[in-house]
Chain A
Amino acid sequence: MAEIENKVVEMDEVVIRFSGDSGDGMQLTGTLFSDTAAHTGNDLATFPDFPAEIRAPHNTVAGVSGFQVHFGSAKIHTSGDLCDVLIAMNPASLKANLRFAKKGSTIITDVDSFEEKAMEKAGYAANPLEDGSLSDYIVVKAPIRMLTREAVKELGLDAKSADKSKNMFTLGMLLFMFSKEMTYTHKFLEVKFKKNPTVVEANKRVLAAGFNYAETVEAIKSTVSKVPAAKMPKGKYRSITGNTATAWGLMAASEKSGRQLFLGSYPITPATEILMELSKHRNLGVKTFQAEDEIAGVTSAIGACFAGSLGITTTSGPGFSLKSEALGLAVITELPLVVVNVQRSGPSTGMPTKSEQGDLLQALYGRNGEAPMLIIAASSPVDCFYAAFETARFALEHMTPAILLTDGYIGFGSELFQIPKMDDLPAIVPPIAAPNSDYKPYRRDENTLARQWAIPGTEGLRHRIGGLEKTDVFGQVSTDAQNHEKMTYLRNEKVMRIAERLPEQEIFGEPEGDLLVVSWGGTRGFVRSAVEKLQKEGKKVGHAHFRYIMPLPKNTRQVLSAYKKVVVAELNAGQFVKYLRINFPEITFKEFNKVQGQPFTVIELTDKFNQLLQED
């Protein structure tokens, strides 16, 4: 074979999957690599894949922790399907993650960890690095443990301390592979270990050792690549996860409306991060109340709403079920409660760390009586910020409880967030009743139908509300037949009228064509990538991604009628499609459903769409 010139290949996008034992520091390595890529102008999205077990046994498949980053020179919509580079720090992580590696991809392993006992624990009968089973991949067998110890020998570190820096070796290799500098990591180490210069030095040496080692490996040297900077809008950026973005969006709504933020919540995967994030911000007057259960979480938030706060409760599926009765109370008392449901696989406890879109029908219909609520679904980690802000804004201005649906995938995933200015976000003006005004609890604004918010402590507004049906305008307890029917329709109409303020539903693609792909919530990135791919191939495919579920945008019927065929793709057994069929019975909907606790892949979507395009 002729010698290959050592040249840098330009690539549009790359997916790297970091995996190792829980203690191998793969989350940090992945984050540092991602941050380096972000600082050098790449767009990206990440997703951590950690085990549900807190400290699963060492070197077992159950104890493997993963982190995937997808970075590129164009807009990145997802954390990627299959990876171009897989880091496997031990046999178990290779075992658990090989299925995520593209054929022909590079697998970097720490060959020193492929000891008999570790391979046995991972379930390998023979050494996969030697038995030819990886012949479809470029396997780099790096003696990472040995070279790491070597690199720090002069610093007098013992083997155990030295091994803690192994992840820096891997990071160094990757930085070389993708033509990135080590400066960002240097700065990070200097800040992180400010009090321990030896540790800083050790990590820097290991990082450099990895970087230099990569240059000597033929398989790497020949494929050094560079992903040019993406053309992103000018501005200031940061990286943010969906759950943090949700917390911040709610805080932004609190600041804009001048209403104190009260969160009543009970820890539940994958929503707990929102409670943890909000708990940090006492400095901004945020009041978090870790309740004794899900019911106390929501009812305390309802109490706070009654008292004039932006009352919020955060949860996931099983907790959402427990809150159902209280949501009805928020509907009938017409208070601006915000419920965040970070959806996970169900039913019951299901698969807590896995994502699904299974709670849509519950959000729409899961309460006794006629109990409509505003429902908005966030479509990406960054969109969690804006969707949370908007959910709170409409709840406050229209005096209705509202549900924000996100999911575990976008909750844990991260994206680059162009930092908004608070001045650029819309004002939020809740209809607060003036002191000593002629207040009636259920008198409504003639346009929005919102009732006024009379806050306890205000002079001249004493009144009573509650779970019993009340008379229109006056708010007296009533079982009058006509009044109940009137109030039922008023509560519904109030929510429906929010559609007047929603932007029109857009179609990504031509105004008409052969196949319209409909999706909602956290799947936007995958579906958009698939549609873009087909459009580039010249196919007449469009994408309508719904953020507003209840009410639907006003032009929804028009959008759904614009293409010859409509397919609804969602991560459940067909819930949004049922809702659309109820509302638009004249339209024929095809379905593409997946209920595996995993996101869509672009490949399976394009396959399905191609198949639908070919069918009569």
Chain B
Amino acid sequence: MTVRIPDTNPLAMPSLSAAPALALHDVSKRYGRRWALARLTYALPAGRSLLLTGHNGSGKTTLLRLVATALGPTAGKVEVLGHDAVQERDTVRREVGLLSHASFLYEDLTAQQNLVVLARLLGHPSPGDVADTLLTRVGLGRRSDNAVRGFSAGMRKRLAIARLLLKAPRIALLDEPFGELDPAGIHDMEGIIAELKASGVTVVLATHLVEQGLTLCEERLHLQDGRAVAA
């Protein structure tokens, strides 16, 4: 079956002096009859951070999930640090961390056990220690033995960011990282994002808090109905 992809006017690619952290080549994604992304072409230089903006349903989350390899594109090619996100899926997954709307947390395990499970999968030699260090860093040190089922939305978000930090990704994909956080939590999250950037991690940030995002990111991509448009 031939798939007809809606035409669009992709934004010009920024000139790149190094291999891009993220490259999208005519990327489209369709859910049923609806195009969530339509022929999106973009490249993010290594070391730069990207602010993704757009209304609800504009394709931000779909784009992040494509880059994280949680989804595959309907058409086009996604490259992460020079690796094809479909052909070299496991390599890409090792390099990318996703903070998603879904927390990826087991409700019946404690905060510490959730991190220990991931630490074991990643091969950390002392999973308990690394989990405790991260829980303290995100302000959950005193709740480490509590089951996630009793956590507030903000605490889940903190634990989810600890989960992302545990992966030590080279690209951090943050989908609405400030949502559900109180002012202190937002301040902490900004600090974590700044630390990630300072340590050379490429941050892709999707948020409706545009002004906050602009202080953290050098590049901006505005999506509307799955297409890149001028903000």
A and B from one assembly? no
